[in-house]
Amino acid sequence: ESQAQFFGPMKDLDRGMYLAVDGYYGQLLKHRPDKMPFDIPEPAIAYSFEVGKFASGRRFWHGVHKYPRIGWRGFYQSFGNDSVLGKTFSIYPFMDIGVLRRNNFALWFRMGYSFAWNTKKYDRVSNPLNTAIGSSLNNLTTLSLLAEYEIFPQWRLRIGGQFTHVSNARYTQPN
């Protein structure tokens, strides 16, 4: 689990499509500190690349959700202790729902959900300190609040906060 601040440029393309690259900086939250004996000496760092599209309005739900953005995102994360916790990789779909849009400014709420692959998991012999991640294949859930400002035509800068949860839902222990 991590909480991060992120920022990045966005480039609009033709037909309502866009590309974005984001960098993240945050901290792993130990939700059970008494059962997590490892240190976290470094901040959580992540990077992502996304391809998205603005909803066209051709479907009923586009209007209901205020013409959201939908797309796919490639995601890489280091939790701050790579030797124990490893790194996480994921490709996931997302949907952004507009909260506020005024002139050159927009505020979006984002949801994303998929599978994630983690490079280190608990092993009684080779990685006994990793009491947080019990399997390589996990669920990845993200919730974000994004603020964007159009700095030039077709170029936007965004900043926001994101909560990312990586879990195997106790399919294997530890979790």
> Taking CA 35 as the corner, what is the angle to CA 171 and CA 83, rounded to the nearest 5 degrees?
80
Residue 175 is encoded by which pair of tokens?
A: 């979790």
CB 59 within 8 A of CB 34: no
Place of tokens 């994630």: 116
Report phi then psi at 79, rounded to 5: -80, -10
Of 96, 102, 87, 88, the C-alpha closest to 145 is 96
pLDDT digits (tens, 9 = 90+) for 13-67: 666 788 999 999 988 877 777 777 788 888 999 999 999 998 877 888 777 777 8
pLDDT digits (tens, 9 = 90+) for 55-106: 877 888 777 777 889 999 999 999 999 999 999 999 999 999 999 989 999 9
pLDDT digits (tens, 9 = 90+) for 104-163: 999 999 999 999 999 999 899 998 888 888 899 999 999 999 999 989 878 889 999 999
Q: Given 3-state DSSP classes, what are the helix, strand and coil percentages for the chain, each rounded to the nearest 5?
A: 10, 60, 30
Task: State pTM to two decimals.
Answer: 0.82
